[in-house]
Protein backbone atom coordinates (compact mmCIF):
# COMPACT_ATOMS: atom_id res chain seq x y z
CA UNK A 1 0.00 0.00 0.00
CA UNK A 2 1.28 3.46 -0.92
CA UNK A 3 0.01 6.93 -0.01
CA UNK A 4 0.65 10.35 -1.51
CA UNK A 5 -0.52 13.69 -0.17
CA UNK A 6 0.24 17.28 -1.06
CA UNK A 7 -1.18 20.62 0.03
CA UNK A 8 -2.46 23.28 -2.33
CA UNK A 9 0.29 25.68 -3.45
CA UNK A 10 0.75 28.35 -0.79
CA UNK A 11 -0.71 26.28 2.08
CA UNK A 12 1.31 24.62 4.81
CA UNK A 13 -1.20 21.81 5.30
CA UNK A 14 -3.59 19.92 3.09
CA UNK A 15 -7.37 20.09 3.48
CA UNK A 16 -7.36 16.33 2.75
CA UNK A 17 -6.86 13.67 5.42
CA UNK A 18 -6.32 9.95 5.00
CA UNK A 19 -6.53 6.99 7.36
CA UNK A 20 -5.23 3.42 7.06
CA UNK A 21 -5.55 0.62 9.60
CA UNK A 22 -4.66 -2.98 8.84
CA UNK A 23 -5.39 -5.89 11.14
CA UNK A 24 -5.13 -9.63 10.58
CA UNK A 25 -8.71 -9.92 9.27
CA UNK A 26 -9.29 -6.59 7.58
CA UNK A 27 -7.95 -3.37 6.14
CA UNK A 28 -9.76 -0.07 6.34
CA UNK A 29 -8.62 3.01 4.47
CA UNK A 30 -10.26 6.32 3.86
CA UNK A 31 -9.81 9.77 2.38
CA UNK A 32 -11.65 12.87 3.55
CA UNK A 33 -11.50 16.05 1.47
CA UNK A 34 -12.52 19.09 3.52
CA UNK A 35 -14.36 21.71 1.49
CA UNK A 36 -12.01 24.44 0.39
CA UNK A 37 -8.40 24.22 1.49
CA UNK A 38 -6.09 24.99 4.38
CA UNK A 39 -6.78 24.72 8.13
CA UNK A 40 -10.59 25.16 7.99
CA UNK A 41 -10.90 22.38 5.40
CA UNK A 42 -8.54 20.19 7.44
CA UNK A 43 -10.69 20.69 10.54
CA UNK A 44 -13.62 18.98 8.77
CA UNK A 45 -11.46 16.29 7.16
CA UNK A 46 -9.83 15.40 10.49
CA UNK A 47 -13.16 14.13 11.86
CA UNK A 48 -12.90 10.99 9.72
CA UNK A 49 -9.75 9.41 11.24
CA UNK A 50 -11.08 10.01 14.76
CA UNK A 51 -14.29 8.12 13.97
CA UNK A 52 -12.58 5.26 12.12
CA UNK A 53 -10.04 4.75 14.91
CA UNK A 54 -12.78 4.72 17.56
CA UNK A 55 -15.33 2.48 15.78
CA UNK A 56 -13.43 0.20 13.33
CA UNK A 57 -15.86 -2.71 13.79
CA UNK A 58 -18.89 -0.74 12.57
CA UNK A 59 -20.27 -0.84 9.04
CA UNK A 60 -19.02 1.67 6.52
CA UNK A 61 -22.43 3.35 6.32
CA UNK A 62 -22.51 3.70 10.10
CA UNK A 63 -19.02 5.25 10.06
CA UNK A 64 -20.06 7.77 7.39
CA UNK A 65 -23.16 8.71 9.40
CA UNK A 66 -21.05 9.19 12.54
CA UNK A 67 -18.72 11.50 10.56
CA UNK A 68 -21.73 13.37 9.23
CA UNK A 69 -23.10 14.00 12.75
CA UNK A 70 -19.87 15.76 13.71
CA UNK A 71 -19.88 18.03 10.64
CA UNK A 72 -22.60 20.29 12.04
CA UNK A 73 -21.32 23.89 12.14
CA UNK A 74 -18.23 22.95 10.16
CA UNK A 75 -17.43 23.53 6.49
CA UNK A 76 -18.06 19.87 5.57
CA UNK A 77 -16.13 17.18 3.73
CA UNK A 78 -16.34 14.55 1.02
CA UNK A 79 -15.52 11.20 2.65
CA UNK A 80 -14.87 7.77 1.12
CA UNK A 81 -14.22 4.59 3.08
CA UNK A 82 -12.88 1.27 1.76
CA UNK A 83 -12.92 -1.87 3.88
CA UNK A 84 -11.25 -5.12 2.82
CA UNK A 85 -12.26 -8.40 4.46
CA UNK A 86 -9.31 -10.76 4.01
CA UNK A 87 -11.28 -13.85 5.09
CA UNK A 88 -14.24 -13.31 2.76
CA UNK A 89 -12.08 -11.83 -0.03
CA UNK A 90 -14.39 -8.84 -0.37
CA UNK A 91 -13.79 -5.14 -0.70
CA UNK A 92 -16.51 -2.66 0.26
CA UNK A 93 -16.72 1.01 -0.69
CA UNK A 94 -18.97 3.90 0.19
CA UNK A 95 -18.57 7.58 -0.42
CA UNK A 96 -20.41 10.85 -0.04
CA UNK A 97 -18.76 13.35 -2.35
CA UNK A 98 -16.28 13.34 -5.18
CA UNK A 99 -13.62 10.92 -3.97
CA UNK A 100 -13.08 8.22 -6.57
CA UNK A 101 -12.40 4.52 -6.20
CA UNK A 102 -11.16 2.12 -8.88
CA UNK A 103 -10.40 -1.57 -8.59
CA UNK A 104 -8.85 -3.57 -11.41
CA UNK A 105 -9.46 -7.31 -11.48
CA UNK A 106 -6.63 -8.67 -13.62
CA UNK A 107 -8.05 -12.22 -13.96
CA UNK A 108 -11.19 -10.95 -15.67
CA UNK A 109 -9.73 -7.69 -17.07
CA UNK A 110 -12.58 -5.88 -15.32
CA UNK A 111 -12.48 -2.33 -13.95
CA UNK A 112 -14.81 -1.59 -11.06
CA UNK A 113 -15.70 2.07 -10.63
CA UNK A 114 -18.70 2.53 -8.31
CA UNK A 115 -20.43 5.90 -8.42
CA UNK A 116 -20.32 7.85 -5.16
CA UNK A 117 -23.32 9.55 -3.55
CA UNK A 118 -23.26 13.18 -4.68
CA UNK A 119 -22.84 15.97 -2.12
CA UNK A 120 -20.76 16.10 1.03
CA UNK A 121 -21.04 15.43 4.75
CA UNK A 122 -22.34 18.54 6.47
CA UNK A 123 -24.62 17.37 9.26
CA UNK A 124 -27.65 17.28 6.95
CA UNK A 125 -29.42 13.95 6.46
CA UNK A 126 -27.44 11.53 4.26
CA UNK A 127 -28.16 8.09 2.85
CA UNK A 128 -24.83 6.38 2.13
CA UNK A 129 -24.77 3.27 -0.01
CA UNK A 130 -22.05 0.65 0.51
CA UNK A 131 -21.14 -1.53 -2.46
CA UNK A 132 -19.27 -4.81 -1.96
CA UNK A 133 -17.22 -6.75 -4.52
CA UNK A 134 -15.24 -9.95 -4.42
CA UNK A 135 -11.57 -9.75 -5.30
CA UNK A 136 -8.69 -12.03 -6.23
CA UNK A 137 -5.17 -11.95 -4.89
CA UNK A 138 -3.10 -9.11 -6.39
CA UNK A 139 -6.08 -7.12 -7.69
CA UNK A 140 -5.18 -3.42 -7.52
CA UNK A 141 -7.16 -0.49 -6.20
CA UNK A 142 -6.85 3.28 -6.26
CA UNK A 143 -8.68 5.74 -4.00
CA UNK A 144 -8.17 9.47 -4.65
CA UNK A 145 -9.41 12.95 -3.84
CA UNK A 146 -10.52 15.44 -6.49
CA UNK A 147 -7.06 17.04 -6.58
CA UNK A 148 -5.90 13.95 -8.49
CA UNK A 149 -6.99 14.35 -12.11
CA UNK A 150 -6.21 11.29 -14.20
CA UNK A 151 -6.47 11.26 -17.99
CA UNK A 152 -7.10 7.51 -18.25
CA UNK A 153 -7.41 5.71 -14.89
CA UNK A 154 -8.17 2.31 -16.46
CA UNK A 155 -5.08 2.42 -18.69
CA UNK A 156 -2.87 3.47 -15.77
CA UNK A 157 -4.14 0.71 -13.48
CA UNK A 158 -4.04 -2.00 -16.17
CA UNK A 159 -0.35 -1.30 -16.85
CA UNK A 160 0.65 -1.45 -13.17
CA UNK A 161 1.96 -4.75 -11.83
CA UNK A 162 1.73 -3.80 -8.15
CA UNK A 163 0.80 -0.97 -5.77
CA UNK A 164 4.22 0.70 -6.06
CA UNK A 165 4.06 0.78 -9.89
CA UNK A 166 0.53 2.19 -9.70
CA UNK A 167 1.68 4.83 -7.20
CA UNK A 168 4.48 5.96 -9.53
CA UNK A 169 2.21 5.99 -12.59
CA UNK A 170 -0.43 8.10 -10.84
CA UNK A 171 2.20 10.46 -9.43
CA UNK A 172 3.69 10.91 -12.91
CA UNK A 173 0.24 11.60 -14.44
CA UNK A 174 -1.25 14.17 -12.06
CA UNK A 175 -0.95 17.93 -12.14
CA UNK A 176 0.45 19.35 -8.94
CA UNK A 177 -0.64 22.46 -7.07
CA UNK A 178 -3.97 21.50 -5.44
CA UNK A 179 -4.79 19.51 -2.30
CA UNK A 180 -4.29 15.97 -3.56
CA UNK A 181 -4.32 12.60 -1.83
CA UNK A 182 -4.29 9.08 -3.21
CA UNK A 183 -3.90 5.57 -1.87
CA UNK A 184 -2.84 2.60 -4.00
CA UNK A 185 -3.11 -0.97 -2.83
CA UNK A 186 -2.62 -4.55 -3.92
CA UNK A 187 -5.07 -6.99 -2.37
CA UNK A 188 -3.93 -10.05 -0.41
What is the Cα 19 distance to its own chain's centre?
Answer: 9
Strands of the sheet containing 16-22, edge to edge, are: 16-22, 26-34, 77-85, 90-96, 131-134
* Structural domain boundaries, residue 116: 2-186
- Quick: pLDDT tens for 77-123: 999 999 999 999 999 999 999 999 999 998 999 999 998 889 999 99
- Quick: pLDDT tens for 143-157: 999 999 998 999 999
The CATH number covering residue 26 comes to 3.60.40.10
How many independent structural domains does the chain possess? Answer: 1
Amino acid sequence: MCVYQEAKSGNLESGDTYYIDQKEDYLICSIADGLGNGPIAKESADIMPEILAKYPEESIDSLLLRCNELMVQKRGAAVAIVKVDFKLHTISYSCVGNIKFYMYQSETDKMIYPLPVMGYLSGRKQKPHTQTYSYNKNDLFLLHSDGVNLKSPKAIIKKAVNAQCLYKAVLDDIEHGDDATFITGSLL
